[in-house]
């Protein structure tokens, strides 16, 4: 079965509308207009509605860079939002970057819920969780807040520093920060005989390691999956694979997981989307996840 999942209870985030290659979103008390390549349909709300609602809009000079235009001069470049579910609560510092991101991918809140609920079900008192391609650390902090010994791996030092800021904002401590190429780190952990109860993979379509290592999703994801499943604890575990590549379907993710981990149980695959209050849905990636708990 293919599942369609969207966050349903994040009070500090709202997708208001999307279309004409843009999306209108509320993060906390600020409303942003940003480019969205998948929004190929018409906007539901009128151009005047968008203009009246928007506090900050991103105007791109290219596909990867641009500038932010504020409706008022006193609007901050940085602000905080909160995320909480039944198990955890974390705080995240958002910011206006030159490549249109603000420091969080809201559709991932569905996976954060899966992470915290899985950790709470583990019998082991301090389960180990590994977050690869971990960005600014929301999933790492959810794991930590749920009671896991958490390792956060990303190849970009600046975003790891950002993740550490989020840790401090969330009144958490002792996440293990690692600035390294994700595949190299996994291979080294295998040689060390390490095991993890939870593994989170959120790889980009393209990327580079700190020493120029090249990552291309379709070229390297099979090797990554083959290696990473060997790190899973046999008795109780979960794994999440999330991909953003426009060419990937949930069937591809299902095949990757099944051929890498033949003993997989409780596998779910599907598509993540954001439900706009205007009524439209915005697809934002495909996922595969599975778990095993001690009886």
- Encode pLDDT of 12-41 as tens digits: 999 999 999 999 999 999 999 999 999 999
63 has a pLDDT exceeding 60: no
- pLDDT, residue 65, reads 76
Radius of gyration, alpha carbons of the chain: 19
Nearest to 132, CA basis, from 240, 222, 219, 5: 240
Cα–Cα dist 40/90, whole Å = 33
Domain 79-292 classification at class level? alpha beta
Distances (CA, A) of 66 to 62, 194, 213: 7, 42, 26
- pLDDT, residue 246, reads 59
C-alpha 144, offset from chain centre: 15
Strand 149-154, strand 128-132: pairing: parallel
- pLDDT, residue 294, reads 85
5 has a pLDDT exceeding 90: no
pLDDT-derived band at 62, boundaries 50, 70, 90: low
The arithmetic mean of pLDDT across residues 50-62, rounded, is 89
Least confident of 47-51, 117-121, 152-156, 218-222: 218-222
Q: How many CB atoms lie within 10 A of CB 49?
A: 15
Please tell us whether the domain made up of 2-76 is placed in CATH 2.40.50.140: no
Share of residues in the chain with pLDDT > 70 (%) = 96
DSSP 3-state of 118? helix
Cα–Cα dist 27/222, whole Å = 35
- Encode pLDDT of 165-200 as tens digits: 999 999 999 999 999 999 999 999 999 999 999 999
- Encode pLDDT of 248-270 as tens digits: 789 999 999 999 999 999 999 99
- Give 155's contacts (C-beta < 8 A, 6+ positions apart): 179, 180, 181, 182, 207, 208, 209, 210, 213
- pLDDT, residue 202, reads 93
pLDDT-derived band at 99, boundaries 50, 70, 90: confident
80 has a pLDDT exceeding 80: yes
Ranges of each domain in the chain: 2-76, 79-292
Average pLDDT over the chain, rounded to whole? Answer: 93
- pLDDT, residue 258, reads 96
Number of H helices, E strands in the chain: 7, 17
- pLDDT, residue 195, reads 98
- Encode pLDDT of 202-236 as tens digits: 998 777 777 777 777 878 899 999 999 999 999 99
- pLDDT, residue 207, reads 76
Q: Where are the beta strands (DSSP E) in the chain?
A: 2-5, 13-19, 22-27, 30-35, 56-60, 66-70, 78-84, 89-95, 128-132, 149-154, 176-179, 198-201, 206-208, 214-216, 237-243, 268-275, 281-292
Q: Is 249 exposed, middle or buried (0-12, 13-18, 19+ CB in 10 A)?
A: middle
Cα–Cα dist 270/282, whole Å = 14
- pLDDT, residue 245, reads 58
Nearest to 16, CA basis, from 194, 293, 290, 282: 282
- Encode pLDDT of 144-161 as tens digits: 999 999 999 999 999 999
Q: Is 118 exposed, middle or buried (0-12, 13-18, 19+ CB in 10 A)?
A: buried
Share of residues in the chain with pLDDT > 90 (%) = 83
């Amino acid at each position: 079965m293919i599942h369609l999942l969207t966050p349903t209870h994040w009070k500090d985030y709202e997708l208001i509308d999307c279309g004409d290659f843009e999306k209108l979103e509320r993060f906390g008390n600020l409303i942003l207009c940003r480019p969205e390549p998948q929004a190929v349909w018409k906007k539901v709300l009128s151009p005047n509605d968008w203009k009246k609602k928007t506090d900050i809009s991103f105007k791109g000079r290219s596909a990867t860079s641009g500038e932010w235009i504020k409706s008022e001069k006193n609007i901050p470049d940085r602000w905080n939002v909160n995320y909480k579910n039944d198990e955890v609560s974390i705080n995240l510092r958002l910011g206006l970057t030159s490549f249109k991101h603000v420091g969080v991918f809201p559709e991932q809140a569905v996976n954060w819920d899966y992470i915290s609920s899985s950790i709470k079900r583990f019998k082991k008192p301090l389960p180990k969780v590994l977050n690869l391609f971990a960005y600014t650390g929301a999933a790492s902090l959810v794991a930590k807040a749920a009671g896991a010994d958490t390792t956060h791996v990303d190849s970009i030092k600046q975003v790891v520093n950002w993740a550490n800021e989020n840790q401090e904002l969330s009144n958490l401590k002792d996440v293990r920060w690692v600035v390294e190429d994700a595949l190299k780190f996994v291979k080294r952990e295998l040689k060390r005989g390490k095991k993890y109860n939870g593994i989170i993979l959120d790889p980009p379509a393209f990327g580079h390691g700190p020493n120029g290592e090249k990552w291309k999703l379709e070229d390297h994801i099979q090797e990554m999956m083959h290696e990473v499943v060997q790190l899973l604890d046999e008795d109780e575990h979960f794994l999440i694979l999330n991909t953003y590549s426009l060419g990937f379907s949930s069937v591809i993710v299902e095949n990757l997981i099944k051929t890498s981990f033949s003993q997989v149980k409780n596998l779910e695959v599907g598509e993540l989307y954001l439900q706009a209050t205007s009524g439209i849905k915005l697809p934002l990636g495909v996922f595969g996840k599975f778990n095993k708990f001690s009886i």
